[in-house]
A and B are shown apart, each in its own frame.
Chain A
Amino acid sequence: MSIFQSLSISGSALTANRLKLDVVSSNIANANTSRGQFVNGEWIPYRRKMVEVTANQTSPFTDVLQRELSGVQVNKIVEDTSPFQAVYDPSNPDSNEQGYVMMPNVDATKEMVDLMATSRAYEANVTAFNAGKSMLVKALEIGR
């Protein structure tokens, strides 16, 4: 168990939250992208992406023995499988025979809520990082 562990724990959370922010930005940027992927000769819209996080824990045995705490890690980025929105726009080059265009399954409200939750979590981790740092500086003063 290292003396700088509390800083690296907060650091892992900062990394995870920054990645989450990147994914949210990507979702918002592509909210109207009707050509997301080229699959089997036709374009399908952009799919909303989500981040899956887990507590970065070692096995329960070492957990008990060494009191190991090691922050958070991003498992993978998963795609939202909910259906695309159909928008009526016959003049659009991507419209089908009925005049509908398939638009991404991105919900702006959901993305904004995710954005705020993530940036608040980021701030909380910065506070924890600063608290740990001030404790380490204080420890240097012992015996002065």
Chain B
Amino acid sequence: MNQMIGIMSRALDASSLRQKSISNNIANVNTPNFKPTKVSFEELLQQEVKSQFIGNRTNAKHVLIGETDRIPSPKLEQGNTVFQNSGNGEDLDYEMTQLSENTIWYQSLTYGLNEEFNLLKTSIRAR
């Protein structure tokens, strides 16, 4: 339960950073030699989940091996493509689709987070 809230709030961080990155890219659509940035989070989370090496425990008192509750933080990456004649590396259509996708993703995350909190509320009030 707690882990879920942690992951979702980190995903909200990623979405908010992605919004900044996309609006910065759109702001610089006509800037010569500008290279757009992108935010990676999902891949990092996947890696963290998949590459976990978990030690076998036969007793509850054994030390945890590999099993961490580490959630990766979103990372900002600089692209180096050239798309326009001015040396600018930006595709405006791609940025606009990313923008609406990110907004909807953010809204579904807040919805999911609210549902988690509602579950907690229900169990606290026991009704």
Contact of A55 among B23, B31, B76, B107 (CB under 8 A): B31
Q: Across the interface, do B17 and A53 meet the contact criterion of CB distance under 8 Å?
A: no
**Residues from 29 to 71 in A contacting B, C-beta threshold 8 Å:** 53-55, 67, 69-71
A69-B20, A135-B16, A135-B106 known; A9-B117 Cβ under 8 A: no
Task: List B1-43 residues whose CB lies under 8 Å from chain A.
Answer: 12, 15-17, 19-24, 26-32, 34, 37
Whether, in the assembled complex, A124 has its beta carbon less than 8 Å from a beta carbon of chain B, the answer is yes
Are A9's CB and B27's CB within 8 A?
yes
Q: Are B31 and A142 in contact (CB under 8 A)?
A: no
Question: In the complex, how many angstroms separate the beta carbon of A110 from the nearest chain B beta carbon?
Answer: 15
Q: A127 to chain B: which residues have CB within 8 Å?
A: 96, 99
Q: Does A144 contact B (CB under 8 A)?
A: yes
Q: Does B71 contact A (CB under 8 A)?
A: no
Chain B residue, CB-CB nearest to A20: B30
Out of B15, B20, B102, name the residue touching A5 (CB < 8 Å): B20
Whether, in the assembled complex, B44 has its beta carbon less than 8 Å from a beta carbon of chain A, the answer is: no
Dominant SS among interface residues on chain B = helix
**Chain B, interface residues (CB within 8 Å), range:** 20 to 34
CB–CB B27/A12 < 8 A: yes
The reply to whether A55 and B34 form a contact with Cβ atoms under 8 Å apart is yes
Q: State A142–B8 Cα separation when bound (angstroms).
A: 12
Residues of A within 8 A of B (CB): 1, 3, 5-6, 9-10, 12-13, 16, 53-55, 67, 69-72, 117-118, 121, 124-125, 127-129, 131-132, 134-135, 138-139, 141-144
Task: Enumerate the 6 nearest inter-chain pairs by beta-carbon distance, A residue then B residue, closest first.
Answer: A13-B27, A69-B24, A128-B23, A71-B27, A6-B20, A9-B23
